[in-house]
Amino acid sequence: MSDTSIGTPEQLRDPNYTPPMSKAIPLGIQHVLAMFVSNVTPAIIIAGVAGFGFGAPGMDIGAIVYLIQMAMLFAGVATLIQTIGFGPVGARLPIVQGTSFAFLPVMIPAMVGAGTAGLAGLMTGVVIGGLFHAFLGLFVGKIRFALPPLVTGLIVLMIGLALIKVGIQYAAGGAGDFNMSKPTWGGVSNWFQAGIVIFVTLGLKFFGKGLLSVSAVLIGLIVGYIVAWLMGDVNFGGVGNAGWFALPSPFKFGFELNWAIIIGMCLMAFISAIETVGDVSGITKGGAGREATDAEVTGATFADGLGSALAGVFGSLPNTSFSQNVGLIAMTGVMSRHVVTIGAIFLIICGLIPKVGAIINTVPIQVLGGGVIVMFGMVAAAGASMLSDVNWNSRNMVIFAVSLSVGLGLQQVPNAMAFLGDTAKILLTSGLLPAAFIAIFLNLVLPEDLG
């Protein structure tokens, strides 16, 4: 429900309205709290996959802190592109951008598979994929017919299922052989700390109200962090060496073409663009009670892609609209894009201060694991919720069954198609891309009256 002290009902539905600053600033920070953990988590995961993350033999605190910094900085920059806009770019709606989980199932096998180019290839792929994503803005509205809830729900479900393994590994003590070989891996203390995060998060989500409920994962991580500190598992060694101010460096990790990553980023850009269209529609319906205009959908997709390309230039991961913030707009009833602009400025400030990233990096991996178990599970649950709108006739059951079986099967048995080249194997082992394209193809070619 909306607060009448913020503005009249007509003003609250107007994206161009600016509430009093005493109200706008807390509302803007609330948006940041709702997305903060989800935004920095992919950077921490990719640092681990790249071999310099938590506990890795080649651990590089400076590189980890930089990735976390850029996640905050370019989430803020991409959000400003959406809320303020320029020319046809930007929806000029209260859309919060952040680092996308959706790309992880493609990035992880690409980073560890044969023929990988490491972070240089990954970031180059992010730039090219982002530009392709922006190009999709020219016609994304015309291809929505090919993506009914059966297809989009399956895609979102597959993203969650592909990531759940990472959450369990983190809760047990970290991913990778260097962590899993430790005698403490899978120990009681790791699971106790992860369990504290889950317990607090669920308690606040179900029994808290307002800001407490919205920030449940963040507060759960803070409580788990305190418990880990009391148990002696928090190391502040890297905080003192981190600076108070630093600017981003273009092509920090180099420039290198890797076709597996480039193709994967472009294909995932297609899926991310559709997700953004859904979020734009959700914002206009939930906040203003109307359908999104073609200009808003096109501008949002342009901004999504350009924000990702810009992030990749400076060593950050792809950005997309954050669905949890769409729900927050519906809950508060405040449609003002300027409120979200305030949150974006807060993110940019945090991204320019390395000490913030260094403090985030002190969160023990098992504590983060408790948070990502909830977050990745929620991604899968969101997909299941979308699938609830499907008419489960024999046709749709066949499409779902074949797509899910092939996708999950290739993900679990990555060497099943050893005859393929390195690039094809990397793309297939994500499981997500083959499942998505099988579902899209079958949905387009199978007759509606099958069975």
pLDDT digits (tens, 9 = 90+) for 354-407: 888 888 788 888 888 888 888 778 778 877 887 888 888 999 999 999 999 998
Report the SS3 class of residue 86.
strand
Structural domain spans, the chain: 14-445
The full DSSP string for 360-422 is HHTS-HHHHHHHHHHHHHHHHHHHHHHHTTS---HHHHHHHHHHHHHHHHHHH-TTTTTTS-H
Q: What's the pLDDT at 160?
A: 81
Q: What is the spatial distance between Cα 199 and Cα 221, in angstroms, rounded to a whole number?
A: 10
Alpha helices in 137-249 (DSSP H): 149-172, 177-180, 188-207, 211-214, 216-230
| Residue of 103, 38, 105 lying closest to 71 (CA atoms) | 38
Of 126-135, 169-178, 254-263, 421-430, which range is least confident?
Answer: 421-430
Of 69-78, 241-250, 392-401, which range is least confident?
Answer: 241-250
Q: What's the pLDDT at 154?
A: 86
Report the SS3 class of residue 319.
strand
Which residue is associated with the tokens 């006739």?
393
- Write the burial class of residue 184 (CB in 10 Å: 0-12 exposed, 13-18 middle, 19+ buried): middle
Confidence band for 114, pLDDT divided at 50, 70 and 90: very low
Q: What's the pLDDT at 305?
A: 93
Of 62-71, 107-116, 428-437, 439-448, which range is least confident?
Answer: 107-116
User: Which of residues 412 and 305 earns the better pLDDT score?
Assistant: 305
What the block records as the tokens of 109 is 């096998």
**DSSP-assigned letter for residue 238:** T
Read off φ and ψ for residue 191, nearest 5 degrees. -70, -30
What the block records as the tokens of 8 is 């009249």
What is the C-alpha end-to-end distance of the chain, expressed in Å? 45
Q: What is the spatial distance between Cα 171 and Cα 369, in angstroms, rounded to a whole number?
A: 4
Which residue is associated with the tokens 């991996």?
365
188: Cβ contacts below 8 Å, ≥ 6 apart: none
Q: What is the spatial distance between Cα 200 and Cα 396, in angstroms, rounded to a whole number?
A: 39
Q: What's the pLDDT at 226?
A: 93
Q: What is the spatial distance between Cα 374 and Cα 395, in angstroms, rounded to a whole number?
A: 32
Which residue is associated with the tokens 């990531």?
163
Q: What's the pLDDT at 58?
A: 59
Confidence band for 53, pLDDT divided at 50, 70 and 90: low
Do the Cβ atoms of 134 and 312 come closer than 8 Å? no
Report the SS3 class of residue 333.
coil
pLDDT digits (tens, 9 = 90+) for 305-356: 999 999 999 989 999 888 767 767 766 677 888 889 998 998 999 899 888 8
